[in-house]
Structures are given as C-alpha cells and as structure tokens.
Structure 1
Amino acid sequence: MQEIARGFQLMPISLLYTIIFLLFVNTSEIGGT
C-alpha cells in the first residue's frame, strides 16, 4: 500500500493532465458532432 501511495504522490500531475486530455477529447467529439 505504501508503494502505491508513494507512486500516487509522484504521479498526480501526469494523472491530472491525462484526465484533462480525456475530457478535452470527449468535449471535442461532442462539439464536432
């Protein structure tokens, strides 16, 4: 559990960018249609 928590502390930025990217693509598809 500690390893996962430690890795999660190092990854929030990349994770955040990934979520924003997915949301952006999703919105683009909806707007494109």
Structure 2
Amino acid sequence: MAVDLSMPVLVVDDYSTMIRIIRNLLKQLGFENID
C-alpha cells in the first residue's frame, strides 16, 4: 500500500498516551512530527 508522506495528519484524542502511541506509529511509517 502506497502512503503519501506529504499528506497532513491530525491526531486528536482525550488521552495523551494514545496520542503518543499514534505519533510513534506515524513516525515509524515515515511521517514528520510537526506540533
């Protein structure tokens, strides 16, 4: 499956732990972290 790494992704969740997990997964896929 091709992933467009220039595509913006917004992660929103009530729990900071879940946000951290998703951010780490996206980083492993090659996305940049911009706060």
- TM-score, normalised with respect to structure 1: 0.47
> Which structure has the highest helix share of the two?
1
* Structure showing greater relative contact order (alpha-carbon pairs closer than 8 Å, 6 or more residues apart): 2
TM-score, normalised via structure 2 length: 0.45
Structure exhibiting the larger radius of gyration computed from Cα positions:
1
